[in-house]
Amino acid sequence: MLSKPIMKYLEQEEAGVLSSLLAQAGIDSTVKRQGLPRIFGGISNYQVQIDPKNTAKSKTILDDFKSRSAEIRAENLHRLTTFCPSCNSQNIYIVEKTNPLLKIFYLGVIIHKCKDCSAQWYT
């Protein structure tokens, strides 16, 4: 049974990479999409499941994967705070949450906006 989630909240691409790394080590896995919607662009919703008996065997692969995906996420975050994701402009700014409703709605989220194309995104 491929029923043990070893990694959650992955991008679809990340989940695919992890799954193929496991396959290379002879560990079967399944990528499962979670029902949660995508929130604020950064958090995603795939998980990789394995047979619980392969837990120990998958540990090294998982640790490598985690440190690598942390690097990639840090790079992505850096990009999202430097460039507009829609037009690549560096003419971007952080939206002040002056409205109390904005503060509540975007709690823990930074709102970025592009001066060139008016795109808005969150980190």
Which listed range, 40-48, 56-64, 99-107, 110-118, lies at the site for Zn ion (CB under 5 A)? Answer: 110-118
Q: How far is the CB of 73 from Zn ion (least distance, A)?
A: 22
Whichever of 55 and 89 has its CB closer to Zn ion, that residue is: 89
What Å distances lie between residue 40 and 1, 51, 102, CA to CA? Answer: 33, 32, 14
End-to-end CA gap in the chain? 37
Give, as ranges, the residues between 43 and 102 that touch Zn ion (CB under 5 A): 84, 86-87, 89
83 and 89 in contact (C-beta within 8 Å)? yes
Q: Report if residue 119 touches Zn ion, rule: CB under 5 A.
A: yes
Q: How far is the CB of 116 from Zn ion (least distance, A)?
A: 5
Beta bridge pairs of residue 106: none
How far is 123 from 111, CA to CA, in rounded Å? 7
Contact positions toward Zn ion, by CB under 5 A?
A: 84, 86-87, 89, 114, 116-117, 119
